[in-house]
Structure 1
Amino acid sequence: MIHIARSVLISGVVFLLSACASTFSGQVSSFHEWQPQMAKIYVVERAPDQENNPEYKVYEEQLRKQLGLSGFQEADAQHPAVMKVSMAYASNFAELQVNSMHPALYDPIWRLHFRRGLYYGPYWYPYPSLYPSDLSVKRSYLHQLELRFSDVQSNKRLADIKVSTEQLNPAISLFMPDLLALAMQDFPQPNGSTKVIELQKATKEVK
């Protein structure tokens, strides 16, 4: 009986571990002139350099899937497009100090630092910092996604959503489905809002 009870207990623990959830977080900014009654029938618009880009085409399929989950319908012969959806993405290298009183994330493109620890809030710095050679530094990457919704007839911008996440892995492909999910979370977010959103991700791996 004890052996059976122990087996049941172990099975229960394994099940709970397999059903546990991890989180994925990112900063989402939303600007729009969205009307609730607007028909969500879209066509994907590609930039010229995206036409023959295999990587982009993979992300475009993920975009279509996420739009479908968010109640959008892709245009066809019976349902002409009301809006165009375009997508842009980028990854930037940064360095994150880990043993300094003022650790910060450095963006080499905009030279923008995000303070850590007790000193929160972004601030501008004109040149890269010169860190001591013995300073412990770990690499991080800023992955960014932008979705734009525009009216087909007037080309008027309907919505502009920007998402960014800081990760240690440089491959944006690992995070694109989550970035798209963040972008469309509770679409549309309040106009002019910028906030950190967390997604719950169920995992089935048990070590």
Structure 2
Amino acid sequence: MKTTDKDVATEPAVQQPLSRKLLKLALILCACIATGVLIWEELLEDRVVAKRFGVVEPGKIYRSGQISSYLIEPVLSENKIEKVIALNGSDLQKPYLKTEVETAKKLHIDHQVLYLIGDGTGDVEDYAEAVAEIMRCEKAGKPVLVHCAAGAQRTGGVIAAYRMLVQKKTPEEAYQELLQYDWNPHKDQALIDYLNQNLTRLSSLLEEKIEWYEPPATIPVIGK
């Protein structure tokens, strides 16, 4: 069958609207996905998921970021937490941390606030107190939750110090655990430098605070 000029001319007219419809559909789909992600991250996630919640030692030691007002009571209750160590003391007047303090009081949970800096650095005395308190809680059989704002830097640093100095885990094991909780080696090197500069002093402070603490034979070096 012979194709006429009229037939050829009409084919693009059929195809062009279809391609435009597909493009519009793709744009609408992308917009819906982006909106859904935004709604999840900004409005729903903190109501459903406890930020970076993790188990350090089952039934004994837990870690997290700042848990929202919607979840703090069930998380503390369900995990039978008896002690909370908040490393983000500079956030004490923010709603979530204020609610946490009030909830701990309501549940008769001991609550301690320490003041480390967002990049995981800070006063080594506060680091030592955090690690020492974890040791005290573990010895007393009191489940403890350690947290900061994001649950990656300050919390990661304290848990890494605990792993290496108290549990005698290898630096590589401690480093891998940092990565599991979204610590970024390309952006957050200050934490590694801080730990390596202060682990010796931290170990000495633990000897002063905890009579049963046994320092490692060699002070570990992490991330090298």
Determine which structure has greater relative contact order: mean sequence separation of CA pairs < 8 Å that are 6+ residues apart, divided by chain length: 1
Give the TM-score, by structure 1 length.
0.27
Greater share of helix residues, 1 or 2?
2
Give the TM-score, by structure 2 length.
0.25
Q: Which has the larger radius of gyration?
A: 2
Greater share of strand residues, 1 or 2?
1
